[in-house]
Structure 1
Amino acid sequence: MFSKACEYGIRAMIYIAQRSRQGERVGLKDIAQGIDSPEAFMAKIMQALSRQGLVQSVKGPHGGFYMDTQASKITLAQVVRAIDGDHLFTGCGLGLTECNEKKPCPIHDEFKLIRNKIRSLLETTQVGEFNELLEKGVLHLKRI
């Protein structure tokens, strides 16, 4: 459903929100290790998220990526749009370029319902919502 970049981006944002809550800035290497992603790929993703203003960064020996309390209210939909654009919310379930109400694909109506539920979920879920459950070890962000 999500591109690999988007998966890593969402996980990174949740990870940074958690660490920022603890008053920390997180380096690229720590993010990559913390969410089990390739560091070089993560650098490109973090650059895109930073450019969109979804995370802040400070250079130097005590630098890294962080979020203020307002940024932890960023929705998962904002992260998806920053990395993958709006295609998840508007695209055809079969990948057709010409699929709409007037010219639907075979799964158009059913997929539209699913797509709308996904949009609703992502637009109402904030990256900072998972902090407590991550700290308790109930949730995780990398393969175990």
Structure 2
Amino acid sequence: MLLTKASEYALLSLIAISQKETPQDVDTLSTQLGISKSFLAKILQSLAKEGVLRSFKGAHGGFLLTPEARKMTIKHIIECAEKRAMNVFECSPSPGHCPNNRAEFCKIWPFLNKLQTKIDDFLDTMTLNDIIKD
């Protein structure tokens, strides 16, 4: 599926973090956004590992956006949060990805592929900064 809770929570937390000048800790963000602390911590750690966030340890630790984060595409951020390529359906990149071995007679794959291309193109043009500004 295209967007999961991980994608949603990643974007919500990045917007919240972008509004602060000091590192934001998981406890505060979890409470502010109404997200499970453990789930949010995993998402933020993934984003830090991928260079979207900077992580700070210690009593005043937390997360800040990297200087490059605002220029990153939404597609890239979603893929960092999801830890996989963003696909509308499993088969959308190619009929060979069909989980049910129906590729040879599938009539909806061309539609799914066109949808995937349009979504990819759209999310490749939107940056985190575009969302933050709105």
TM normalised by structure 2 equals 0.77
Q: Which amino acid in structure 1 is aligned with residue 125 of structure 2?
A: T
Per the alignment, residue 117 of structure 2 pairs with: 116
Does structure 1 residue 96 correspond to structure 2 residue 98?
A: yes
Displacement of 1:45: 1.0
Calculate percent identity across the aligned residue pairs. 24
Q: Tell me the residue number matched to 1:40.
A: 38
Q: 1:1-144 maps to which residues of 2 (within 5 A)?
A: 1-19=2-20, 23-84=21-82, 85-88=84-87, 91-92=90-91, 96-97=98-99, 98=101, 103=104, 105-133=106-134
Extract unaligned runs of 5+ from structure 2.
none
**Hey, what's the Cα distance between the residues in 2 that align with 1:10 and 1:43?**
14
**What stretches of structure 1 of length at least 5 have no aligned partner?**
134-144
* Off by >4 Å, runs of 4+ in structure 1: none
SS across alignment from 1:2: coil
Give the paired residue count. 127
Higher relative contact order (CA 8 A, sep 6+): 1
Maintained 8 Å contact 1:89/1:116: no
Normalising to structure 1: TM-score of the pair? 0.73
Deviation at 1:77, TM superposition (A): 1.1
User: Hey, what's the Cα distance between the residues in 2 that align with 1:126 and 1:68?
Assistant: 14
Cα distance, 1:81 vs structure 2: 1.7
